[in-house]
Amino acid sequence: MPYLTLSDGTEMYYVDQGEGQPIVLCHGWPLSSDAWQTELKVFFDAGYRTIAHDRRGHGRSSQTSTGNDIDTYARNLAELVEHLDLHDVVVVGHSTGGGEAVRYAAKYAGGRVAKVVTAGAIPPIMVKSESNPDGTPIEVFDEIRDNVLNRRFQYWYELAEPFYGANREGADVSQGLKDDFWRQSMMCGLPAAYDCIEAFSETDQTEDLKALDVPIMIAHGDDDQIVPIDDAARKSIELVKHGTLKVYPGASHGIHGAYQKQLDQDILDFIKA
């Protein structure tokens, strides 16, 4: 299995397959590159070089107790892209990975990025404040912290329900999908799982969005219970220069089922456009 030793000594696991224009996939919290298994095959079959990494502290990468913040995530991604000498990159990020992708493209890409795609992404900022009165109250994130610290073994099972919309009437969400969410979440080190809550909720990426000078497709399900569309995608599209907003009716935060098939096709169409 390929690993990259980052500049601070962290071992980053990654998958790299195929040839052609590179698509780099950034996963959400508290998952791993395994969340992109379908996309790794679909995009590879479509003729692209597909790369996905386990963010520091997640999956098979080092379980770091430091650097669990959006800026470090983006700088680590830059090291991976430079290590593989990738150019004309399409960087795709889900949830927290969307924040990682946007920060990377805006600040660290050095001309290597051609396009950006986000899905259910956290920018511009989630937490409620005087400057963001429509955001989610800090108490919600404090409760998540308490659950992760004290009862994560059960909490990951519970979080899978709203994550994939399994708590909606008529939802078609398999037990296997929820079990895999638990499996990936349990692979995330506790410091990373805990610290990333602040990273995904309190990092203001308004200036990152404004700084993007490449096309971005902002995808979001309108029944996202984790990152509400009105507080994220609908605000982000107003801040970017070259943006396309794709709204998926009834889609959850987690990427699965019909939403996943349509999103993957839309990403391929966006790359070719």
Quick one: 3-272 is in which CATH superfamily? Alpha/Beta hydrolase fold, catalytic domain (3.40.50.1820)
Identify the pLDDT of residue 245.
Answer: 98
Virtual torsion, Cα 196, 114, 34, 63, nearest 10 deg: -40
Q: From CA 205, how far away is CA 66, in angstroms rounded?
A: 21
Virtual torsion, Cα 243, 248, 252, 258, nearest 10 deg: -120
Question: Comparing C-alpha atoms, which of 75, 70, 91, 98 is closest to residue 10?
Answer: 75
Over pLDDT 70: what percentage of the chain? Answer: 100
pLDDT digits (tens, 9 = 90+) for 193-210: 999 999 999 999 999 999
Which amino acid appears at position 96 of this protein?
T
**Mean pLDDT across 220-236:** 98
Indicate if the pLDDT at residue 89 is higher than 90. yes
Q: What residue spans define the domains of the chain? A: 3-272
DSSP string, the chain: --EEE-TTS-EEEEEEE--SSEEEEEPPTT--GGGGHHHHHHHHHTT-EEEEE--TTSTTS---SS--SHHHHHHHHHHHHHHTT--SEEEEEETHHHHHHHHIIIII-TT-EEEEEEES---S--B--SS-TTSB-HHHHHHHHHHHHHHHHHHHHHHHHHHTTTTSTT----HHHHHHHHHHHHHS-HHHHHHHHHHHHH---HHHHHH--S-EEEEEETT-SSS-GGGTHHHHTTT-SSEEEEEETT--SS--HHHHHHHHHHHHHHHH-
User: Tokens 């994220």 label which residue?
Assistant: 232
Over pLDDT 90: what percentage of the chain? Answer: 100
pTM given for the model: 0.97
pLDDT-derived band at 1, boundaries 50, 70, 90: low
Q: How many CB atoms lie within 10 A of CB 272?
A: 8
- In the sheet that holds 22-26, the strands lie side by side as 3-5, 11-17, 49-53, 22-26, 89-94, 113-119, 216-221, 243-248
Q: How many CB atoms lie within 10 A of CB 269?
A: 10
Query: Of how many residues is the chain composed?
Result: 273
Q: From CA 32, how far away is CA 70, in angstroms rounded?
A: 16
Instruction: For the chain, give the mean pLDDT.
Output: 97
pLDDT-derived band at 61, boundaries 50, 70, 90: very high
Which amino acid appears at position 54 of this protein?
D
Q: From CA 71, how far away is CA 107, in angstroms rounded?
A: 9
What does the block give as tokens for 222? 């309108």
pLDDT-derived band at 4, boundaries 50, 70, 90: very high
**Mean pLDDT across 232-245:** 98
pLDDT digits (tens, 9 = 90+) for 156-194: 999 999 999 999 999 999 999 999 999 999 999 999 999
Catalytic residues: 95, 224, 253
Taking a C-beta distance cutoff of 8 angstroms, is the pair 161, 178 a contact? yes
